[in-house]
């Protein structure tokens, strides 16, 4: 009898130690869950019965009591409808053994009306049979801040990319942007059998202008030239770009030579009206020389021909335009 009592006491002591160990483990687990802000769900798949912890409800702005009675339908009611198809696909992938875990970032409707991004993870821990889940447990973690940061980062990257195609002084496309636009418009012209015209523009005696009036006034003069060019373009498809220094390019898609000449004349008249003083110029005001080229087949020589025509304009006294003729 004494041995039986002794053995029973030993068993009781061992059981108490196990209870203490499990209690400590549970306390530690609860502290981890609380400190990491993790929501917990436990889903009986065949019946739909589901339990959630308080944090799970808090993530979408509720107390657990406000959501009761809870089931898998509670999750479905608050999940974004556009995410349900992908969620179901990933669940079935996990159930079929193709993935070890179910992992999906989805949107859920917050009590206040906005959307919350949630990292949803789970794993089957009991099976009815192969490929047929019985019980699944998992977590929800609010990752809205991450998505907001990604959105801001993407916006910043888009802005940075946009700025890389803009001239920092004049806020118009730079040479890099022009080359990209040129390739696009050439492809379109080839498809549609349309001509492209190009105007190469160079500010006359600009080095002398900078030397006489200073670089700040030189920058202001370039801004005024830019506005004259921009105001002379009537179509959103027409492009003005800073090619470098005091050189500009105007790309005119679907425009024959006569149309390009009309644009060049408008640019000249617009700049004439500004009457920007230039004491070192033969014309006493700031002027430009322009070269015009047009083609509907050999686009590779378009820029070179416009450049040649522009130098003819310079040789011809500046403050004028010349057209490249074959």
- Catalytic residue at 246? yes
Asked if the peptide bond before residue 180 counts as cis, ω within 30 degrees of 0, the response is no
Instruction: Pick the catalytic residue from 20, 246, 247, 277.
Output: 246
The kind and range of the H/E element at 272 are helix 257-274
204: nearest Cα among 265, 324, 290: 290
Q: Give me the sheet containing 239-244, strands edge to edge.
A: 239-244, 247-253, 196-203, 288-295, 321-323
Provide the total of helices (H) and of strands (E) in the chain, helices listed first: 11, 10
On whether the CB atoms of residues 75 and 41 are closer than 8 A, the answer is yes
Two tokens, residue 299: 């686009």
The kind and range of the H/E element at 247 are strand 247-253
What would the DSSP string read from start to end of 51-72? Answer: EE-HHHHHHTT--HHHH-S--H
Two tokens, residue 189: 């012209």
What would the DSSP string read from start to end of 149-191? Answer: HHHHHHHHHHHHHHHHTB-TTT-SB-HHHHHHHHHHHHHHHHH
Q: Is 95 helix (H, G, I), strand (E, B) or coil?
A: helix
Q: How many residues does the chain have?
A: 326
Q: CA-CA distance, 122 to 139, in Å (whole number)?
A: 6
Q: CA-CA distance, 285 to 263, in Å (whole number)?
A: 21
Could you say which DSSP state residue 83 is in?
G
User: Annotated catalytic sites, by residue?
Assistant: 246
């Amino acid at each position: 009898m004494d041995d039986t009592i002794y053995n029973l006491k030993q068993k009781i002591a061992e059981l108490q130690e196990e209870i203490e160990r499990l209690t400590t483990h549970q306390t530690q687990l609860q502290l981890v869950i609380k400190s990491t802000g993790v929501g917990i769900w436990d889903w009986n798949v065949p019946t739909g019965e589901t339990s959630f912890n308080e944090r799970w409800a808090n993530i979408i702005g509720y107390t657990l009591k406000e959501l009761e009675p809870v089931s898998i339908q509670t999750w479905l009611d608050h999940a974004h409808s556009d995410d349900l198809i992908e969620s179901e696909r990933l669940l079935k992938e996990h159930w079929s053994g193709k993935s070890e875990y179910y992992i999906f970032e989805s949107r859920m409707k917050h009590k206040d009306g906005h959307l919350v991004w949630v990292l949803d993870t789970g794993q089957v821990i009991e099976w009815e049979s192969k490929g047929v889940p019985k019980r699944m447990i998992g977590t929800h973690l609010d990752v809205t801040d991450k998505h907001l940061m990604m959105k801001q980062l993407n916006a910043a990257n888009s802005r940075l990319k946009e700025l890389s195609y803009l001239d920092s002084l004049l806020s118009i496309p730079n040479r890099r942007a022009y080359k990209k636009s040129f390739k696009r418009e050439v492809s379109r012209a080839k498809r549609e059998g349309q001509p492209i015209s190009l105007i190469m523009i160079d500010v006359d005696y600009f080095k002398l202008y900078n030397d006489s009036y200073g670089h700040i006034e030189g920058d202001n003069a370039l801004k005024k030239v830019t506005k004259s060019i921009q105001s002379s373009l009537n179509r959103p498809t027409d492009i003005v770009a800073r090619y470098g220094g005091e050189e500009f390019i105007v790309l005119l898609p679907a425009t024959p030579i006569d149309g390009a000449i009309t644009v060049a004349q408008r640019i000249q008249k617009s700049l004439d009206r500004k009457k920007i003083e230039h004491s070192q110029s033969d014309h006493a005001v700031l002027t430009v020389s322009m070269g015009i080229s047009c083609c509907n087949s050999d686009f590779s020589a378009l820029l070179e021909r416009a450049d040649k025509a522009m130098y003819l304009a310079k040789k011809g006294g500046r403050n004028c335009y010349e057209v490249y003729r074959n």
